[in-house]
Amino acid sequence: EVSKNAAQLANYKDVWIFAEQRTGKVQNVAFELLAAGKELAEDRGCKLCAVLLGYKVSHLAQELINHGADLVYVLDDPNLGEYEADTYTDALDKLIQKHKPEIILAGATAIGRSFIARTAARVHTGLTADCTGLSIDKESFLLHQTRPAFGGNIMATIVTPHHRPQMATVRPGVFQQGEPDPNRKGKTLFEQLEIVTRELELIRSIRKEDEEGDIAEAEVIVAGGRGMMKGENFVLLEELAKLLGGSVGASRPCVDAGWVPVSRQVGQTGKTVAPKLYLAFGISGAIQHLAGISAADYIIAVNRDERAPIFGIANLGIVGDVMDVLPALIDVVKKTKAGN
């Protein structure tokens, strides 16, 4: 174990967030992390910095500043044009060694999960995955990293007292992004580093596109649980979602049963969502599912069991059979849209 003494720890400062971008577009999770990081930076009395890796992405720096970054480290390099874990790891490792950040946050996305852990191992520090809460302890000034444990039945708070940086990943949708300020001023630092690349050639990149889009980005989600009885009944949810301009979600049992793909799963073991409207049909409300929808603005739940836990957080609850309520609701929406 490589531990650092107090004098060495004092050399580490500032809060960094990894500003994930794909095909030249900053992902929403980066803006969410900037909102969370702003509070941490204020509590530590330090700068909030963003790290932007890619090729021909320098123009994105101002967007990060608009969302709260005081400083943006830009590493614009042809070797970073397409994501590759070892190359990204080497780039971030070199930036850490050069500038010594105290805290680094990244999205728990396919990209974030695959290389942030490698980076933590490279710099001999800890990493807390899938955090749902972050705060600075007022006495120790350590980053308190809170995440679900034991299947979501307890919440564990983890600290990294002897190593730096303190690193954590956060699922998209856990924090709410702030409103951008187009007049905000910040600093951009363009880095020139020699990146170690693997001896491989990328032939082509194929991105799997979900026809309904990413539910983590949806403003309206129509979700089903075991109360839907069988996979074929999800066509009703699809019809309602289409009428409302939303996406279809599901609880874990529906995914385990093979009714819907895992990309539709909502909850701690699926995707954390923050839609404006969340409609839950036949979902009882296990703690893992409730944690995944807690950021929704408005929740409507339909369930036969009046004691279902989901009614405890729903803004509107309907006790009834989903197979009776769903067709009636679809009919009402259709008539409303037709102006009748």
Query: 226-273: per-residue pLDDT in tens?
Result: 999 999 999 999 999 999 999 999 999 999 999 999 989 998 778 888
* CA–CA dist 45, 117 (Å, integer): 27
pLDDT of residue 1: 42
- Spatial neighbors of 278 by CB under 8 A, at least 6 apart, are 220, 221, 223, 249, 293, 296, 298, 299, 300
Look-up of token digits 């992004």 = 177
pLDDT of residue 189: 93
10 Å CB burial of residue 226 (0-12, 13-18, 19+) is middle
Query: 275-302: per-residue pLDDT in tens?
Result: 889 999 999 998 889 888 887 889 999 9
10 Å CB burial of residue 153 (0-12, 13-18, 19+) is exposed
In the DSSP assignment, the letter for residue 119 is H
Positions in the chain short of pLDDT 50 = 1, 211
pLDDT of residue 155: 81
pLDDT of residue 340: 58
What value does the CA radius of gyration of the chain take, rounded to a whole number of Å? 22
Token pair for 6: 């107090």
Kindly give the pairing relationship between strand 71-76 and strand 187-190: parallel
Please tell me whether the peptide bond between 172 and the residue prior to it is cis, using omega within 30 degrees of 0: no
pLDDT of residue 150: 65
